[in-house]
Structure 1
Amino acid sequence: MPLVPLHIRGKKGKKRSAAQISSTASASSTPASSSSSPGNEVTRSRKKPHGSGPGSSRRLSILERLPVEVLVLVFTESQNVNLMYCNRHIHLALDNKYSLVRLVTRAFAPTWLKHFGSPRSREVEAPDVPPIYGAGRRDIARLQENLLAKKFFTIDLALSAQQLWFDEFRPSKSGRIHCLPNCKCSCCAGNGAAEDAIFNASQSFERDFQLAKDSVSRGVEGWSGFRSRQDVEVGIKLNPKRLHGPWDEDTEKLIFWLVTGGIFVDHQNWDPQVCINIVLSHANAARDINPFFAYNARALVSFTHWPLYEAYPFYLRNKPDPPGSKWDPVRLKFNEYLHGTFDGHDSRDIRRMRRDAGRDVDDSDAPYDPDNDYWDSDDDAGYAY
């Protein structure tokens, strides 16, 4: 049976002659001269950003059309931190110290109004004691916790906000204000002399911080006795990301302000690996350990329940060398914290780990003696950090 031929038709259109096709091609390949008439000049429209220009199809939102002063007021009163991340226009209007100081002031005002001038009820050296929320104040704590997790929250921002709060909303209750330690003046917040009371947040904090730094340089453990104030809402938990090293001085000050200001360090419920990473970020062999972290590390991270494979080499690296050699008291402090981790392990587990690392080549079954076990730089290859 013969095949049926198929005829496929294209678009119908007027056929162009060869002369027309060649003239069109030559016109498109020849650039227009600068002396050509305006009617024949080829113009190129420049691409405009989305949402800009009078001819844009996108209309500005109600918030974007507000004056900056009103937008800042909405930002601070709503306490919606995510507002500044809505779009580029709002972010540029709100991402500045003026707006952020007022946001922090508004968020921490209920705490400062209640606790300003009153001593802390619990010891500074035990920030890991579970706190008790005040009645109806969980939302306040949640809001402050959200702010503390942001990168823009710095010690300068916190002190500026507290100064602004005191200057504009001077506390009416009687009681001593946060004056300098051992101040002999009658610095009371109330009537009479209180109207003349002077509070300088930066000076007061700086004095406390330098006293704590001086105590650390003398090998005193802990920060107690230098500052005991409820500057953050009771129940706020410290984000462990804040503790990662290395620290500069601004980070030291912020951690000091938070810990001595009543934040809850819930390190007992952190994953042990989180604590390990924090300590190793400060105890890198290539640099000195931050003493300000070391002498308060036990209150900031947990040294218990570390995996033996992580705790044991760290312990050996920070032990003092054999008698007569130089040793670092700051590194030795970490070893005191680790005793409860690996000393409680079965000595057979430690011997097995030593054999696996090539440290016990004789495969000895003698009892393990941690006091006679020292770190050798040749053994670095046996451990992973």
Structure 2
Amino acid sequence: MTPIKVKGKNGSRKRPYQSPDPEYARKKQQQRQLTSASGDTPNTTTTTTTTSSKGQRTRKGPASIEQLPPEIIERIFLASENLAFPRSSLLIGRMLSARTFLLGLAVAAFGPTWDVWFGCTRAQVASYAGWGRDMCRFGGSRVFQSKVLACRWMNWEMMLDAQKIWFRRHGGGGRHFEREVGVLVAQGVMARADEIGECFEEDWADWKEGCEALLYAERADGRHDRGAMKLLVQQCLRYQSPYLDLHCMAKIPDYLIAGPFNWDRAKLLFWLIRGGATMNADQTWELARRGFSTVMLLQDRKLILVMLRLFGSLPRFFDRWPDHVLKVYMFLGLGYLKHLLLRTPRSVLINIAKLH
């Protein structure tokens, strides 16, 4: 039988001592003399290690771009708008993963839009038919903003912190920021960056209150389910995004439409809808249907109502649905809402959600 050599087993075999080859030593000496005579300096960026089993193996040193200061690398990254750049090197990826840099990335992506429209409401800038889809009026790059929104580290807290940083740099005391209902500050002037977060939290609280009101909506004839459904439809049709916080053609990430969902993702989707986001042409109705079905399987009843209202208020969410599919899902949604409000056992809700 042929013996099989296993590395590290039974120790390494002892070999007799071999004297160094004089011819090899003479050639190396001549090579060093020629190098020193020509004035060439050996390359210090590479080191060579020799092993008895694998021969010579060359290990390269850091690339030229990796030796640049982090501030220069950050500027190169922001100028390129290529989010695959950090994956080119472990060292570069580590340098560009700090939260402070990610906030700067969000400011670089959305700052040009805020330069134009921050503090302005849609009612103030509406001027002609189709102005909301006129890309010439919006600052910033829709592609760059879409890529930043698709990053997994992006959430509503990052967006608000980035907006605060931009406001401290460029906002000043003359910027105004109105709420959806009424004015946040006297004379509509925002003096502090913290008021950005306060304004968002108040709008979010109003949104949740409207969803919780569905739990207590009743018609005159006592039909609780139909009264809630009618109120939900009225809320969705009445809501108009008040602000212009992102490019009109920026793409909402697919995971915010198809799921899975939680409260953090719901707040990020609310920030996007509140800022004027819509579904893109390449996002199909099948994606929206998948998200609708995912919402039906959630455990949190309040989150279900919030997501249903978000979907109903999102422009173009139901636009491309086939008529027969839309009718079936609206019928299922009415039945599901009825069982949801009457607090039917969970097994019944799951069976309703799977009927598609």
Q: Is the 8 A contact 2:47 2:60 kept in 1?
A: no
The structure whose Rg is larger is 1
Q: RMSD between aligned alpha carbons? A: 4.3
SS in 2 for 1:57: strand
5 Å matches for 1:254-333? 254-266=268-280, 270-284=283-297, 288=301, 290-300=304-314, 301-302=317-318, 305-306=321-322, 308=324, 312=328, 315-316=331-332, 319=335, 327-329=339-341
**CA pair 327-236 structure 1, distance change in 2 beyond 3 A:** same
Q: Specify the alignment match of 1:352 in structure 2.
A: none
Q: Tell me how far apart the structure 2 counterparts of residues 199 and 188 of structure 1 sit (CA, whole Å).
A: 11
SS in 2 for 1:198: coil
More off after superposition, 210-219 vs 301-310? 301-310
Q: Specify the alignment match of 2:91 in structure 1.
A: 89
TM-score by length of 2: 0.64
**Contiguous gaps of at least 5 residues in structure 1:** 1-27, 40-50, 124-128, 190-196, 332-375
Q: Specify the alignment match of 1:244 in structure 2.
A: 258
Q: Deviations over 1:229-280 (max 9, x none)?
A: 111012223233322234211111100000110112247x743322221111
Q: Tell me how far apart the structure 2 counterparts of residues 310 and 116 of structure 1 sit (CA, whole Å).
A: 37
Superposition deviation, residue 106 in structure 1: 1.2
5 Å matches for 1:320-359? 327-329=339-341
Superposition deviation, residue 109 in structure 1: 1.1
Q: Is the 8 A contact 2:285 2:321 kept in 1?
A: yes
State the aligned residue count: 281
**CA pair 310-106 structure 1, distance change in 2 beyond 3 A:** closer
Would you tell me which structure has more helix in proportion to its own residues? Answer: 2
Q: Is the 8 A contact 1:282 1:290 kept in 2?
A: yes
Counterpart pick for 2:82 among 80, 83, 103? 80
Counterpart pick for 1:199 among 189, 193, 206? 193
Superposition deviation, residue 114 in structure 1: 0.5
Q: Give, as a single letter, the amino acid of the residue that structure 2 aligns with 1:255.
A: L
Q: Deviations over 1:14-49 (max 9, x none)?
A: xxxxxxxxxxxxxx977689xxxx99xxxxxxxxxx
**Contiguous gaps of at least 5 residues in structure 2:** 1-8, 19-44, 50-57, 215-230
**CA pair 261-30 structure 1, distance change in 2 beyond 3 A:** closer
Superposition deviation, residue 52 in structure 1: 9.8
Q: Specify the alignment match of 1:212 in structure 2.
A: 207
Q: Specify the alignment match of 1:167 in structure 2.
A: 168
Q: Give, as a single letter, the amino acid of the residue that structure 1 aligns with 2:267.
A: K
Superposition deviation, residue 188 in structure 1: 2.9
**CA pair 54-210 structure 1, distance change in 2 beyond 3 A:** farther
Q: Give, as a single letter, the amino acid of the residue that structure 1 aligns with 2:253.
A: N
Q: Is the 8 A contact 1:111 1:233 kept in 2?
A: yes
Q: Tell me how far apart the structure 2 counterparts of residues 330 and 259 of structure 1 sit (CA, whole Å).
A: 29
Counterpart pick for 1:103 among 102, 105, 112? 105
Q: Deviations over 1:308-354 (max 9, x none)?
A: 58964883585279xxxx733599xxxxxxxxxxxxxxxxxxxxxxx
Q: Is the 8 A contact 1:237 1:266 kept in 2?
A: yes
Q: Tell me how far apart the structure 1 counterparts of residues 47 and 355 of structure 2 sit (CA, whole Å).
A: 58
Q: Tell me how far apart the structure 1 counterparts of residues 111 and 177 of structure 2 sit (CA, whole Å).
A: 15
Q: Give, as a single letter, the amino acid of the residue that structure 1 aligns with 2:292.
A: V
